[in-house]
Copies of this chain bind each other. A is one copy, B any other.
Amino acid sequence: MKGHQVTIKDIAKILHISPSTVSRALKDHPDINPQTKKNVQDLAKKLNYKPNLVALSLLQQESKIIGVIIPEIIHYFFSTVISGIEKVANEAGYHIIIAQSNESYYKEVENVQALLSSNIDGFIISMAKTTMQFDHFKNIEEIGVPMVFFDRSCDVVNADRVIVDDFDGAYKATKHLIDNGCKNIIHLAGPLNLDIGKKRKEGYLAALNESNLPIHDYSIQICDTKEQALQLIPELLRRHPLIDGIFAVNDLTAVGAIKAIKSIHKDVPNDILVVGFENSFISQISEPELTTIDQKGFEMGQNAARLLLKRIHSNENYGPVTTILNTELVQRKSSMKN
């Protein structure tokens, strides 16, 4: 079925010279007769010769491919990260192969194994929510393939990391709500086994403590999807009508909260202020538009790729590097009372 890419051997045969001469001619090696060089290069162009990267991979033990393992590509944040990775990788002559874990530990392990078989030059990974064992990452470490985590990182493994300052972002978000008059702010939190869940919660608590605002037993709710928010919020607000601010662990949950609030005929921002975390696309679609913390997906991807490339090209074995990106508060209507 599949035809035949032109190879160095083909060219060699046609010109009655050896493959090694062709190889050298193509890369302008000084040893080669200018006339031979020209013949080879002309023919190569004419036949549309393209070097076989697989053969090169095998020979040079590098594939120029970076494996990216993420939970779900449909999340805006992850797709922006991918764009950032791809940009930097392409500029350095690398390609990326993407595998989704769909938030499943097993799929994640499978992906790691499969990519390890493919002579990947390095990994860029954001962990699945359900991952609580780390042997597959340790496996990567043992083999010596460079690996960079972003956003959701695994701290029992030696690897570079790129994260945003989740604590500070959460602090800023909460402080912003406090500054705008909120007295009873709840936090819709992510899973606390993930660093981002923990850190954002801590930033939230720090801001409350600093302003001596009370923390109730209902102040922190594990709730990080739109659906969960739609279900949880109406009942919660009924029971605790004094809630006047919501800080959600991500934008989608925040939008779910806004929709829920509207559904019980309360108003955002006049009754309750809402802040998200991500600055995703939907924050500009939402009504009112959502105040949020910019999570810098594209920059994160670029930084992750840069860290990885540096690691790939380095001979020394320097210790793990962690890059922490600054977050930024993006103010929109959902936190601006009229």
A binding-site residues for B, Cβ under 8 Å: 1-5, 48, 50-55, 57-58, 61-63, 65, 72-74, 76, 79-80, 82-83, 86, 95-100, 113-119, 121, 139, 142-146, 255, 281-282, 285-287, 311-312, 314-315, 317
Contacts and interface: CB of A to CB of B under 8 A. Distances in A.
B53 A117 contact: yes
A247 to B, nearest CB: 19
> What are the 3 tightest A-B residue pairs by CB atom distance, in nearest-first order?
A3-B144, A287-B287, A74-B79
Contacts of A285: 255, 282, 285-286
A259 to B, nearest CB: 8
A287 B144 CA distance: 50
- Of A5, A80, A314, the most chain B CB neighbours within 10 A belong to A5
Contact of A54 (B113, B119, B145): B119
A310 B292 CA distance: 46
Contacts of A50: 113, 116-117
13 contacts: A1-B314, A1-B317, A2-B143, A3-B143, A3-B144, A50-B113, A54-B54, A54-B57, A54-B58, A83-B100, A95-B97, A255-B285, A282-B285
A95 B65 CA distance: 13
Nearest to A76: B74
- Of A54, A146, A286, the most chain B CB neighbours within 10 A belong to A54
B100 A97 contact: no
A73 B63 contact: no
Contacts of A61: 2
A95 B315 CA distance: 30
Contacts of A4: 143-144
Given A2-B143, A3-B145, 6 more contacts: A1-B312, A2-B146, A73-B83, A79-B79, A96-B98, A286-B287
Given A3-B142, A144-B1, A146-B1, A119 B58 contact: no
- Of A119, A139, A285, the most chain B CB neighbours within 10 A belong to A285
Contacts of A57: 54
A33 B279 CA distance: 62
B79 A83 contact: no
A97 B300 CA distance: 21
Contacts of A65: 97, 118
A304 to B, nearest CB: 16
A59 to B, nearest CB: 9
A140 to B, nearest CB: 10
A315 to B, nearest CB: 6
A150 B63 CA distance: 28
A107 to B, nearest CB: 9
Contact of A118 (B1, B95, B96): B95
B74 A95 contact: no
A262 to B, nearest CB: 8
A55 B52 contact: no
A309 to B, nearest CB: 12
